[in-house]
Amino acid sequence: MVDQAFGQQSANKLLAVPDYAIPANAKGVNSTDVDVTPQLEQMGTDQVWRCPSWTFARNWVANGGKAFVGEFMVGASYPGNSDVPFCSQAGVVCHQDDIEIVFGTVQNPTPAQSSLIQEMQARFSAFIRTGNPNTGSLSSWQAAGTSNVNAIQLGASGPATVGGCDPSIWGASVPFDYQTLGL
């Protein structure tokens, strides 16, 4: 199934990445098929959003810009996502689930959402005033570099995991989604 989504050559490269490895005990619906849905979800997310964004940040910095990279660990299900079963699972943050957090428009936010809303508004305010999202009461957010994007977890503590976003793989030997379209 991975080869059907990415082509045989790319599938071989991706399945050699430890973050995409298929567990030996993985079973599918028929108990003989292997369910690679979690790997495909991660590969798709990395191909379309996470890894291209991190590559853009590194390139932006290499060309004199400044970037701060974060990965949302807490979100608020956006109306278009509420009909997607995967996006309704606890702990899952899907595309667009950051919008109401960033703008502070979550209806009846949980304590975790309220905390992240306050953090994001403080960081955006600081960034607009100073060009730096760091503010006294929040943990330090390092700017991205040309090799390490220093991504933080938004809504949790610590750095975001690099996972499969190896620049020698994504965008190089395995194309990002926009590269497959010739963009």
pTM score of the predicted model: 0.86
Same domain, 105 and 121: yes
* pLDDT tens per residue across span 103-114: 999 999 999 999
Give the domain extent around 2. Answer: 1-67+166-183
CA-CA distance, 7 to 131, in Å (whole number)? 42
Strands (E), the chain: 70-72, 152-154
**pLDDT lower than 50: segments of the chain:** none
Question: Could you tell me which of 100, 112, 104 has the C-alpha nearest to residue 153?
Answer: 112
Nearest to 153 by CA among 166, 164, 167, 138: 138
Structural domains in the chain (count) = 2
Alpha-carbon distance of 96 to 107, in angstroms, equals: 15
Distance from C-alpha of 6 to C-alpha of 158, rounded to nearest angstrom: 32
Q: Which residues pair with 168 in a beta bridge?
A: none
Asked whether 58 and 167 are in contact (CB, 8 A), the reply is: yes
Does 74 share its domain with 16?
no
Model pLDDT for residues 66-106, shown as the tens digit of each residue: 999 999 999 998 888 888 888 888 888 988 999 999 999 99
pLDDT confidence of residue 73:
95
Tell whether 84 and 154 lie within a shared domain.
Answer: yes
